Every structure is written in structure tokens, then in C-alpha cells.
Amino acid sequence: MRHSSILFNVLFSFRVSLVISLAVLLAACSGTSSPDPATPTTDTNTAESDAVRIGLSISNLANPFFASLQEGAAEAADRLGVTLLVEDAADDAATQAEQIQSLIEAGINALLINPVDSESITTSVEAANAAGIPVFTIDRSAMGGEVVAHIASDNRAGGEMAGDYLADILGESGNVVELKGIEGTSAAQDRGAGFNEALTAYENIVIIAAETANFSREEGEAVFAAILEANADIDGVFAHNDEMILGAIEAARAAGRLEEIRFVGFDAVDDALSSLEAGELQATIAQQPAEMGRLGIETALAYLNGESVAPSIPVDLALITR
């Protein structure tokens, strides 16, 4: 009996130790044990929800200029640990409004907008204002709503630079054509105003046609082809962006009139620089779209961190010639 009692006590002690060990192990696995206050803990969901999220609504990513703008913004966002949500409106104002509403509902902390149309974007800016989301415009401005800062080149000054240079290479005399961008955009309005203002100083230069081609290479080619057919004497062309001027160059090539016309564009995209090197394009106004994107992210983040930012942030321009 004594041996049986000893054996029972040993087995009982073993079972109790086993139960206690299992209980401790289960508590550790289930996370119910109290954490050591000296040991930091991280809640992944909380960390993600606390990260700064910035929405970027772009008018048309098919345009190389705006693709470069997006790349600059993405690089800055990666560098600064910002989550960037990008939407491409494909040059449709209604689509842009829907996309911005989705960004607002997604709970972004700030909104960068490159408007398809400067007037119609007002409703979207006001929607962001109502949601307490600060708004920043890039390259193209908004005509209404509260905007913290506008980041862009001086498009009016760029138009003047283009006008003066075209007048200079034409010997301050000749017939010129203006290919205009999307009429509702501040970029088209300002570039056109600057160009026309510059040409008022040259009494022997006449703008014989000013047609809209919506910043499109295809439309630039089609519109200028019609202008070529209607006008036998054209000395120079200014387009509000490089896409349209490249289309105009193709139309002139097809009509056998490339050598007789001087072309000036705006944006300094890669294809335009190649055309410049080939001697087909005489000049383009260089903007810095990637710099605009970078400044957009940095300005928004500075504002969210409580810093004061300027209401207008200029980006330098340069005249690029052969």
C-alpha cells in the first residue's frame, strides 16, 4: 500500500504540473497574459489607419506631362512614407468628380487635384472642403472652393516667352496659327493670354487662325491639317502643349509644307525634345512636371503637420531651343 501511495502522489504531482504548464502555454498563445509595459507593442491595423493618405486626381495620365507629374508625386510619397492614391480622369470632368468623391469617402487626409476643367472642378473642391480635407491644385487651378495652395508654372509668362520667340525667328513678320488646349482649363487660358499679349508688340504678325485641339496630338494633327488646307501662307504655329504641336508637325509633313513653317510648343516632353533635335520643332517651353508632383506631396504633408504654406508655389520655366 505504501508503494501505491507514493506512486499515486508522484502521478498526481506530475498531472498538476502538466495542467499548470499547459495553462501557461495557452495563455501565452492566446495573448491573454498582460504585456510587459516596458515592451512596445504595434497594432498593424492602427499603424495603417494612422498613415497619411493623400489622393491625387490627374486629368489624363495618357499625356506624358501628367505621367511625369504622377511619377514625381509617387517618388516623394515613397520617400516620405505617405500612401498615395492616384486616379486618372482620362480628360472627363464627370469621371474626375466621381473619382474625387470616392477618394473623399476613402478617408484621405489631403487631396491634390490637376483639374480636367477649372470651373467644373469647383463642386469637387467644395465637397472636400465640407469633409474637412485640405485641397491643393497642381498645374491647373480651380475657379471656386477653398484651395490651400496652387503649385504651377507661370503659364501666362510661358505663353509670352513662346510668342516673343516665335516673333523673333520669323523676323517679327508673318502669319501665325494658335492651337488652343481645353478651353475650360487655366493652363490653356493663361498660355493663350500670354501668347496673344506678346504678339501685340509686333504689328506685322497676324494670327490668322486660333483653333481648339484639346491638348491632343491626334486633334492637333486633324485641326492643323484643315487649317493648312484653308491657308496657303502660314509662317509659324504655337500650340498650348507639345502634344498638339507634334500633331501639327505631322500634318505639315503630310502636306509637304514642313520646311516652310516654324513650330513652338509647350511642356518639353521627350517626344518634343526629339523633334527639336531633328530640327522639326524650333522651341518648347520647359516645365518641370515631376517637380510639381514632388512639391504637391511635400506641401500637403507640411500643411498636415501644422506648417504654414504659401498660397501660390511657382515652378521655374525655361525656353528650350535648337
**What's the pLDDT band for 5 if we cut at 50, 70, 90?**
very low
**CA pair distance 89, 156, nearest whole angstrom:** 25
* pLDDT 10s digits, 146-189: 999 999 999 999 999 999 999 999 999 999 999 999 998 999 99
Burial of residue 114 (CB within 10 Å: 0-12, 13-18, 19+) is buried
In this structure, the answer to whether residues 173 and 133 fall within a common structural domain is: no
Residue percentage of the chain with pLDDT more than 90: 83
In a domain, 39, yes or no: no
In a domain, 171, yes or no: yes
**What's the pLDDT band for 322 if we cut at 50, 70, 90?**
confident
* pLDDT 10s digits, 238-251: 999 999 999 999 99
Grid cell, residue 216, equals 491632343
**What's the pLDDT band for 28 if we cut at 50, 70, 90?**
very low
In this structure, the answer to whether residues 297 and 219 fall within a common structural domain is: no
Average pLDDT across the chain, whole number: 87
Domain that holds residue 195: 155-286
Contact 34, 20 (CB under 8 A): no
In a domain, 12, yes or no: no
In a domain, 322, yes or no: no
**What's the pLDDT band for 258 if we cut at 50, 70, 90?**
very high
**CA pair distance 178, 181, nearest whole angstrom:** 10
Least confident of 7-21, 124-138, 199-213, 292-306: 7-21
pLDDT at site 311: 97
pLDDT > 60? residue 140: yes
In this structure, the answer to whether residues 117 and 236 fall within a common structural domain is: no
**CA pair distance 265, 319, nearest whole angstrom:** 10
Q: Report the number of distinct structural domains present in the chain.
A: 2
In this structure, the answer to whether residues 125 and 226 fall within a common structural domain is: no
In this structure, the answer to whether residues 120 and 183 fall within a common structural domain is: no
pLDDT at site 23: 37
pLDDT at site 11: 34
pLDDT at site 70: 98
In this structure, the answer to whether residues 168 and 274 fall within a common structural domain is: yes
In this structure, the answer to whether residues 84 and 159 fall within a common structural domain is: no
In a domain, 36, yes or no: no
In this structure, the answer to whether residues 222 and 246 fall within a common structural domain is: yes
Walk across the sheet containing 53-58 and list its strands.
Answer: 83-88, 53-58, 110-113, 135-138, 149-152, 312-314
In a domain, 6, yes or no: no
In this structure, the answer to whether residues 145 and 250 fall within a common structural domain is: no
In this structure, the answer to whether residues 145 and 170 fall within a common structural domain is: no
Q: Which residues partner with 238 through β-bridges?
A: 178, 264
Closest by alpha carbon to 158, among 174, 124, 181?
A: 181
pLDDT > 90? residue 18: no
pLDDT at site 50: 57
In this structure, the answer to whether residues 75 and 167 fall within a common structural domain is: no
| Mean pLDDT, range 122-144, rounded to an integer | 97
In this structure, the answer to whether residues 86 and 165 fall within a common structural domain is: no
pLDDT at site 137: 98
CATH number for the domain harbouring residue 86? 3.40.50.2300
In a domain, 7, yes or no: no
Burial of residue 13 (CB within 10 Å: 0-12, 13-18, 19+) is exposed
In a domain, 226, yes or no: yes
pTM above 0.85, yes or no: no
* pLDDT 10s digits, 289-321: 999 999 999 999 999 999 999 999 999 999 999
Three-state SS string over 13-44 comes to HHHHHHHHHHHHHHHHHHCCCCCCCCCCCCCH
